[in-house]
Copies of this chain bind each other. A is one copy, B any other.
């Protein structure tokens, strides 16, 4: 209850920042750019940023801006990923390139990418030069790492021999790095000490890994309404999730054939059969690995200490990440 209010207040303010910055001419470009941001989303990353700032009782105005920068950046990557993956649904709505065409969707993503840095500059304004540099450096390096992760994800689609280690490396880059950066930036704008910034990064990184594993699980277990996108799209796109990798390593000859036939297939029956086999072989394992990274994130968090409600909030967000059903 107390936490509900805490989260609502943050989301309201971060949304205000987002709407303040993503506004302008030409209208079509800004419409295409704000569309996904207004289509919902859990705002998990901004909540992590602001709560991480609150741990050190930082300036909320700065924290809201840093959080908005992170969320805007995240939405830029979603818009471009949806073009690359040819996804047509996101958050239960047609994707940006479906509504506006690929050229405008590329441009809307580019605009949000640049806007994220603009809002970051406002979040960091007036910090000492060293911290300003740390913030810009970490943020830009994060985007680079995310792009590298996306390239790995795409490359994996054409390979059947992806290892769990490679998968973990890929999701660290594609997903977990931004969680790490979200927590880091919250601490940075609150003048947290370097050792606490390091712990915040560890908290975010491990939580982000757990988040992505759960996301991959939900892609096989949730229904379309919960997901806001078609079920089994990972199988259809030939994605090498931890579930697929583990299932392939355990599969009998027959099972292996079914999985391979479903991966990247356009035949819905083959996709469903592959998904069922994958689930039967690796669902429990995937939950175990997610739990392991969740525990690591909790360990980093408990080493930080800091403000009470913010600590509770981060713990709650981490638990939510693991237990969520969408």
Binding site for B on A (CB under 8 A): 24-26, 28-29, 80, 83-84, 102-104, 106-107, 109-111, 113-115, 117-118, 120-122, 124-129, 132-133, 136-137, 139-141, 143-144, 147-148, 150-152, 154-155
Closest B residue to A133 by CB, please name it: B125
User: Which of chain B's residues has its CB closest to A125's CB?
Assistant: B133
Contact B133 A118, beta carbon cutoff 8 Å = no
The residue that A151 contacts in the complex, of B29, B128, B154, B155, with Cβ under 8 A, is B29
B contact residues around A127 at 8 Å (CB) = 129
Cβ contacts under 8 Å, A109 to chain B? 106, 110
Which residue of the partner chain, among B103, B120, B140, contacts A84 with CB atoms under 8 Å? Answer: B103
A107 and B151 contact, CB distance less than 8 A: yes
Of chain B, the residue at the smallest CB distance from A33 is B147
Would you call A84 and B113 a contact (CB within 8 A)?
Answer: no
- Given B121, B141, B150, B154, which contacts A137 in the complex, CB threshold below 8 Å? B121
Q: Is the CB of A147 within 8 A of B29?
A: yes
A110 touches B107 (CB 8 A): no
A125→B137 CA distance, assembly (Å):
9
Nearest-neighbour CB distance to chain B for A319, whole angstroms, equals 32
Kindly report which residue of chain B lies nearest to residue A154, judged by CB atoms. B103
How many angstroms between the C-alpha atoms of A140 and B141 in the bound complex? 16
A107 surroundings in chain B (CB, below 8 A): 80, 84, 147, 150-151, 154
- In the complex, what's the smallest C-beta–C-beta distance from A6 to chain B, in angstroms? 30
A25: B residues at CB distance < 8 A: 148
Q: Are B140's CB and A118's CB within 8 A? A: yes
Q: How far in angstroms is the closest Cβ of chain B from A28?
A: 7
Residues of B near A120 (CB, < 8 A) are: 136, 140
Known contacts A24-B148, A107-B84, A148-B29; is-contact A133 B113 (Cβ 8 Å) = no
In the complex with contacts A114-B143, A143-B114, A147-B110, A121-B133 CB distance below 8 A: yes
A156, chain B: closest CB distance, angstroms: 10
In the complex, chain B residues whose CB is within 8 Å of the CB of A117: 117, 136, 139-140, 143
Q: Which residues of B contact A118 (CB under 8 A)?
A: 137, 140-141, 144
Q: Is the CB of B155 within 8 A of A26?
A: yes
- Which 9 A-B pairs give the minimum distances between C-beta atoms? A114-B143, A84-B103, A29-B151, A117-B140, A118-B140, A121-B136, A111-B147, A129-B129, A26-B151
Q: Given A25-B148, A121-B133, are A84 and B111 neighbors across the interface (CB < 8 Å)?
A: no
Chain B residue nearest in CB terms to A86: B103
Q: Name the residue of chain B whose CB is nearest to the CB of A24.
A: B148
Q: How far is the CB of A218 from chain B (nearest CB, A)?
A: 24
